[in-house]
Structure 1
Amino acid sequence: MSRPHLTHWGAFQARSDGTRLTDVQPFPGDPEPNQLIHNVASAQHHPTRVDRPYVRAGWLERGPGPAPGRGSEPFVPLDWAEAEELLGAELRRVYHDHGARKVFGGSYGWGSAGRFHHAQSQVHRFLNTLGGYVRSFGTYSYGTSEALLPHILGDAWAVIRGSTSWEQIERHTDLVVAFGGISAKNAMMSSGGVARHRIRGRLARARAAGTRFVSISPIADDTPPEAEAEWLAPRPGTDAALMLALAHVLITEELADHTFLDRYTVGYHKFAADVIGQGRTPEWAAARTGLPAARIRELAREMAAGRTMISVSWSLQRARFGEQPLWLGVVLAAMLGQIGLPGGGFGHGYGSSAYPGEGGSAISLPALPQGHNPVREFIPVARISDMLLNPGAPYEFNGQRLSYPDIRLVYWCGGNPFHHHQDLARLREAFTRPETIVVHDPFWTATARHADFVLPSTMTVERDDFGMGNADAELWAMPALTAPHAQARDDYTIFSALAARFGVEREFTEGRDARAWLEHLYSTWRKDLPDFETFFANGVAELPVRPADQVLLADFRADPEASPLPTPSGRIEIHSATIEGFGYQDCPGHPVWLDPGPEPEDRPLYLLANQPKSRLHSQHDVGAHSRATKHRDREPLRMHPGDAAARGLGDGDIVLVRGERGACLAAVRISDALRPGVVQLSTGAWYDPDPADPAFCRHGNPNVLFADLPTSNLAQGCAGAHTRVEVTAYDGELPPLSVLAPPPSQSDA
């Protein structure tokens, strides 16, 4: 019998022989099925699955301590009892000798679409039971937005979750100006899962209704063909210059809505005076963006002529000074006076994930309680290397003067920082500093290979759970489809056994096994749904749906006194006195153009390191669908025909991509969907460093190329969207890969 399952990238139905998935088909109700579902079955029993507990040989021989050999030493297989005893003793030592402020609880939350077996919730609950941990703030995806938006609009999640609905855009919008495009591949994903993909249909219906799209991106297919979008391709990193020039036209041609600006915003006149005083004209912007000044001027007039939605993708704020284009998107929408109107105003994240603009459920889902964390120390999520390399060092963050904690033990569960982070050679050095690193993972990812304890966790198809995506209004049962691979256990079972060794099993489990927790969370959450057993047998429960006529900040527009924004002024802050008071040169009190510095002559190409089409982040990179997109097992690098010809390169050639901090191999794919001078290499290829040079990835991970720099002192966000590179033919013998097999164990060494 075929049974349902939900992943972050889609729902599917599968048959199983009890050990393997024998047939995987898309959920019949999905109008735009995602082929990533086929990575699951092919990855499940890949040789890189972790089959049993392991401990690094050097840790076993010498005990805890900084370890230059992490990432290169063999591992020793253990049985579960041995692993629990060793790890339990080490946790007891660290908490007793150093305290909870020396433990970092790392997790990125993408380990499962399920609500109970949510790795981030599990590890945080466990560490809180032991006494707490140092946490991280924000996300790599939109961490800059999470810090900035509260100052200028209010809660970042409310802005993203409360986006004007696609139904309103279809009915009311004349023009969508999409900075960063509206990417279909990113809209296939959602935290918590997504059952129905709709982005192509949404764009097609809006276009048929008369909405015109302008996609502003160096990549043409950042917006699907259904939108029939005009493509404007600026140089990467110059969106702020373009936005300032658009503002200049609105100011000088008296197209700004001063009635709206006077009632709903603060600081406009400071901003406008600076735009005029600094001469941010279309001609000035043309020299930086490469776009014609006449087209910039005409676009501003078009924006003011009808109902316009200013859409800013998450990609724009994932760059050095990423606060500026995001802030300017809000400012442009305010100048047009359409914030809070149906189909107009500002949107953040259309095409960045599945849920912006979608209705979804009107109620929130149950979650595993994580308990109380008494530790106040935290770091911005993208500052993990800085923390491990510079304990005690001061740094600025969002108006606070903080210092990095001195971490002795890292416990990572449900994430792969060697995918998300930049300057991987530096991150590898950082991972040598703690005394002990513990990782739960189904696979031998780079993070697992740089750990001391590696505990095999189950994949989602190997355990019972339930889940729902942010864009959906159905709760999905997620029954185990197969037995666990080898000796893999779910995180809850692992933590329950460790908690028992501390004498805190009751506090962690509350006397429930995993199935009992599922029933408890479900039954105490909703009394108006079928009982748990009926729900789990049926496979789905319908939930209340949010209205389809949602308009961002409609209540604020209707009455800003009765419904003020949660900003210091209660208004939209075009100029923020709070941010100005921080005194940050890299993020002043209103949005400006910040010069990125001279262009390196030896790296003439712009590289865009965007999200991949063939997987979510780095998940299941060994799956059949992901590997089918590679050439000779190297990640594809898209290149404009003119740039390839100038370097004597052809389609399929293996090339060396050299960046600011390192180099990697890739396989050329010729494409005219790129602006000349721009190449594109997606993130997510598992990091495979050369043994003699950790800054050289043999597989094609672009994060070895980037400097590990924050967006600014305000957000300390990830700045991994683009960098400068050179691409040349690789003439040497193609080096072997190590990521397609498990690391050596002691018996093999």
Structure 2
Amino acid sequence: MTDGIDLRDATPGDDAGFKPHTSHWGVFSARWRDGKLDVRPHPGDPDPNGIIDNFPAALRHRARIAQPMVRKGWLERGPGPDDRRGRDEFVPMSWDAVMDLLGSELARVRDKHGPGAVFGGSYGWASAGRFHHAQSQIHRFLNTALGGYVRSVNSYSSGASSVLLPQILGGYEEITKRNVSWEQIAEHSDIVLAFGGMALKNSMVAGGSISEHVERGAMERASARGCEFVLVSPLRSDLPVAARAEWLGAIPGTDTALMLALVHTLAVEGRHDRDFLDRYTVGWPVFERYLLGATDGQPKDAGWAAGLTGVPAETIRSLAHRLHGRRAVIVVSHSLQRAEHGEQPVWMGAVLAAALGQIGLPGGGYAYALGAIGYYGRRYNAVPGPTLSQARNGVAEFIPVARIADMLLNPGTQYRYNGQTKTYPDIRLVYWAGGNPFHHHQDLNRLRKAFGKLDTLVVHELAWTATARHADIVLPCTMTLEREDIGCSSNDPLMVAMHPVVEPYGEARDDYAIFSGLAERLGATEAFTEGRTVRQWLEYLYEPTRTALAEQGLPAPGFDEFWTAGSMMLPQLPDDGGHLRKFRDDPDANPLTTPSGKIEIFSETIAGYGEPDCPGHPTWLPRVEVPRPGTPMFLVANQPATRLHSQLDFGGHSTDSKHRGREVAQMHPTDAAARGISDGDIIKLFNERGACLAGVRVTEDICRGVIQLPTGAWYDPVDPEDDNPLCVHGNPNVLTRDVGTSALAQGCTGQITTVEVERFDGNLPPIQAFEPPVTAAA
């Protein structure tokens, strides 16, 4: 299995010296020569991602952290709440001194308050390497050295769906990873109705390594075969040109109403699949009464939906007719559930697919989040990849991931989650390694206040993100190119030996080295390290893959052979449609893991929770956040195209996309003209929560009444002494609302908010986001 494309390059001349490596956005090779980094994508990738071009400028950028730093106020006054976080000076310290200091603080909190007073923050996207996976490293350390920590569950991307889908369709990963594939779309689908689209900027990245970007090609092949793509989104770019899609520019947040009207048309015209609904679902009669208006006096017909969505009634009825009797797949993107009542479009999309009778067919049914991330819609590997054990967490308490500010601001307060009444813990210390909450959290000015309540905030970072600037103790960690690892994903066949390309920047250390030093100070060296060096860990983690290959009678090279080769192709399982296909073939022998064993159109379980904001079946619920005087426009704060989240925002590919140093927003010519705004102006977006500046691109590829500004520009307040400072760089999360999707899932609602927009004519403040903070003497 070592006969895949060799990522090393030992040829003479100018091409010599490239070493294999990989990232969340693609496998690549790199070399460091004459003080310059060169990168090139995997030669077998049909559609390489340009994000790898962030590496050269980022590797030795001035934003990198060169040595351990401690916030001056914390050093002078000791642990405790402090509103100076984020605007204080830092004092450089030696590694020995800072490790002794932090070891003592961890012991103090553990011994005085218990491990339940520690929150372990990490978002898991720090590296495609499976050993230097920051989330695994920090959780393993906190479990072995402190006895546990308060954790978070779910994700900002799928907070609502990951709670809902197991209750109505079964296992979340079965639905997203082993269901409708890109191969099936290319070969079998007749019509793809994509709510929120399948933007390539999203599917270009994956949780692990990714060697082939197949999405554009699959849509191109499907379209050439005659498959129709229909995009429902305020943004035309949410499907690539290759799909040749019909664009329905719906008002943001109204997808549920449109889906209801499609099902209503099918039902009243007798075009819904009654046999499928009777055999494979529960709750249709209850839902149908709501659909037809028997329970509330309002039929959910096309005329009703037209007034809510902005899509003409005849277009809705025509679309329902086009879906009927064809191999149709309903796609609902992550973006739809990152909003008020985010559970509803996820649930309603499944009901629409069920009403069409398409669930479980090749290239048909319900493809939740297809295109949302690079490892969805692909085959599973037939052997396991490397995985670092996180050990046992002795603390049972957790929070939904997007509720961190609520937890820090309201310890002891009760809240509802997934049918339970829970209580926010009293957190004294937050330890963050991997992730930048000042990117993915909402209402950043509120988050600043929340972090001010802590005794201590510890951050591992490679660069001066806003999270690092708000920390008390900042420990510089290595970038992926500065260490060795194994890159792998459960849905990508290429496993990569990630060779280090350059020495660590300044005094930066691997997370493993940092945690090993702290474990020694806390008497937990053996529990954390098990006596292994990094190379010994890589050999240990590789062995289950080698063993599984040998058991299948396949070539199973030893670690040294794999490392020298640079990569290895792994076998993959058939594209069999997973459990939903088996369920369709024989629902009695292969029931779903839902309470009823069937698709739950009406859920007795969810209805029993009694949550007004998430009833027992999909429902159109009025929103709080709607345009009104003072904030007359919708803001769509979606994922960026030139970086992963906020990672390497200071890299060349990311900075080249900015305008006069600011992130770029898009708005319709009509909205721009009404405000005296021209293409290329600097604009100010604002609401009651905050304000930010951005460049502007005026385009007809966005609906009227909508402005779009991607997330990920590093938070850069021009006046950090102000309670609501202006972010001059263009971070939309100073504007978004920090509330849960509902009491069921408590997911984030950061995708959509409302704002006013005006041209900015004042003196333009400089961008300081990538400048190191002020340092002071000890």
Aligned to 2:388: 368
Aligned amino acid, residue 111 of structure 2? H
2:763 pairs, out of 733, 737, 747, with 733
Match of 2:716 in 1: 688
Partner residue, 1:666? 694
**3-state SS of paired residue (1:108):** coil
Residue in structure 1 matching 2:130, options 91, 115, 118: 115
Indicate which of 675, 695, 704 corresponds to 1:647. Answer: 675
Question: Relative to structure 1, is the Cα distance of residues 542 and 413 closer, same or farther in structure 2, using a 3 angstrom cutoff?
Answer: same
2:154 equivalent in structure 1: 138
2:375 counterpart (351, 355, 360):
355
> Residue in 2 aligned with 1:172?
188
1:630 matched to which residue of 2? 658
Q: CA offsets, 1:172-223, max 9 Å, x none? A: 2111101111111111000002111111101000111111110111100100
SS at match of 1:526: helix
| CA displacement, residues 344-400 of structure 1 (integer Å, 9 cap, x when unaligned) | 110011221112222242333221111111100000000000000000000000001
The answer on 1:195 being equivalent to 2:211 is yes
Secondary structure at the residue paired with 2:367?
strand
Q: How does 1:128-527 map to 2 (within 5 A)?
A: 128-129=143-144, 130-277=146-293, 278-527=298-547
Gaps of 5+ in 2: 1-16, 551-555
Partner of 1:533: 560
What stretches of structure 1 move > 6 A for 4+ residues in a row? Answer: none
Q: What amino acid sits opposite 1:664 in the alignment?
A: C
Flag the 1:722–1:343 CA change in 2: closer, same or farther, 3 A.
same
Question: Which one of 93, 96, 99 corresponds to residue 84 of structure 1?
Answer: 99
CA distance in 2, matches of 1:746, 1:297: 67
Q: Give the CA deviation at 1:651.
A: 1.4
Instruction: Give deviations 1:427-486, integer Å, cap 9, x for gaps.
Output: 000000110010001011011000000000000000000112344111111011110000
Give the drift of 1:73. Answer: 0.6
Q: How big is the shift at 1:17?
A: 3.0
Do the aligned residues in 1 keep the contact of 2:86 with 2:469 (CA within 8 Å)? Answer: yes
The answer to whether the 8 A contact 2:627-2:633 is kept is: no
Q: Provide the C-alpha distance between the structure 1 equivalents of 2:480 and 2:37, rounded to a whole number of angstroms.
A: 16
Output one character per residue of 1:247-270: Cα deviation in whole Å (capped at 9) or x when no partner: 110110011111111111000111
Contact 1:4 1:13 survives alignment (8 Å): yes
Choose the corresponding residue for 1:104, options 115, 119, 122. Answer: 119
State how far apart, in whole Å, the 2-side matches of 1:693 and 1:306 are: 58
Q: Which moved more, 1:523-532 or 1:700-709?
A: 523-532
* Alpha carbons 1:141, 1:318 under 8 Å: kept: yes
User: By how many angstroms is 1:676 displaced?
Assistant: 1.3
Paired residue secondary structure (2:47): coil
1:693 alignment partner, SS class: coil
CA distances 1:531-553 after superposition (whole Å, capped 9, x unpaired): 11110111111111121353661
| Aligned-pair CA distance for 1:61 | 0.4
Q: CA contact under 8 A between 1:21 and 1:482: conserved in structure 2?
A: no
Q: CA deviation at 1:596?
A: 1.0
Contact map agreement 1:165 1:551 (CA 8 A) in 2: no
Cα 1:114–1:21 change in 2 (3 A) is farther
**Structure 1 range deviating more: 580-589 or 518-527:** 518-527
1:595 counterpart residue number = 622
Q: Report the Cα distance in structure 2 between the residues aligned to 1:219 and 1:607, rounded to whole angstroms.
A: 12
Q: Residue 244 of structure 1: SS of its match in structure 2?
A: helix
| 1:34 and 2:52 are equivalent in the alignment | no
- What is residue 550 of structure 1 aligned with on the other side? 577
Q: What is the TM-score of this pair, normalised by structure 1?
A: 0.98
Provide the secondary structure at the position in 1 that maps to 2:200. Answer: coil
CA separation in 2, counterparts of 1:655 and 1:599?
19
Out of 600, 603, 612, the residue aligned to residue 576 of structure 1 is 603
**Matched-pair contact (CA < 8 Å) for 1:16–1:23:** yes
Amino acid corresponding to residue 767 of structure 2 in structure 1: L
The answer to whether the 8 A contact 1:193-1:470 is kept is no
Quote the Cα distance in structure 2 between the aligned partners of 1:22 and 1:499. 35
Asked if structure 2 preserves the Cα contact closer than 8 Å seen for 1:361 and 1:474, the reply is no
In structure 1, how many angstroms separate the alpha carbons of the residues matched to 2:187 and 2:649? 40
Residue 705 of structure 1 corresponds to 735
1:524 and 1:603 map into 2 onto residues whose CA distance is 56
Partners of 2:126 and 2:189 in 1: CA distance:
37
Q: Distance in 2 between matches of 1:627 and 1:132?
A: 39
One-letter amino acid of the structure 2 residue matched with residue 691 of structure 1: P
Q: Is the alpha carbon distance of 1:373 and 1:671 closer, same or farther for their aligned partners in structure 2, counting shifts above 3 Å?
A: same
Residue 385 of structure 1 contacts residue 427 of structure 1 at CA under 8 Å; is this kept in 2? yes
Aligned 8 A contact 1:195 1:469 in 2 = no
- The answer (yes or no) to whether the contact 2:519–2:528 under 8 Å persists in 1 is yes
Q: CA deviation at 1:660?
A: 4.0
What secondary structure sits across from 2:528 in the alignment?
Answer: helix
The one-letter code sitting in structure 2 at the alignment partner of 1:102 is A
Name the counterpart of 2:33: 17
**Mean CA deviation greater in 354-363 or 344-353:** 354-363
Length, aligned pairs only = 747
Asked whether the equivalents of residues 165 and 549 of structure 1 are also in contact (C-alpha less than 8 Å), the reply is no
Task: Please give the secondary structure, in 1, of the residue aligned with 2:160.
Answer: helix
Q: List per-residue Cα deviations over 1:670-693 (Å, max 9, x = no partner).
A: 111101111110000000113233
Alpha-carbon distance change, 21 to 530 in structure 1, aligned in 2, over 3 angstroms: farther
Residue in 2 aligned with 1:51? Answer: 66
Partners of 2:392 and 2:179 in 1: CA distance = 32
Q: Which residue of 2 aligns with 1:744?
A: 774
**CA–CA separation in structure 2 for the residues paired with 1:444 and 1:297:** 53
Mapped to 1, the partners of 2:661 and 2:490 lie a distance apart of: 34
Structure 2 residue aligned with 1:65: 80
Secondary structure of the corresponding residue to residue 629 of structure 2: coil
- C-alpha distance in structure 1 between counterparts of 2:489 and 2:37, whole Å: 25
User: 2:729, 2:682 → 1: CA distance?
Assistant: 11
Look up the equivalent residue of 2:234 and give its one-letter code: P
What corresponds to 1:124 in structure 2? Answer: 139
**Letter aligned with residue 116 of structure 1:** F
Please give the per-residue CA displacement for 1:80-133, whole angstroms capped at 9, x wherever unaligned: 000110000000111011100100000000000000000000000000012100
Distance 2:622 2:108 in 1: 49
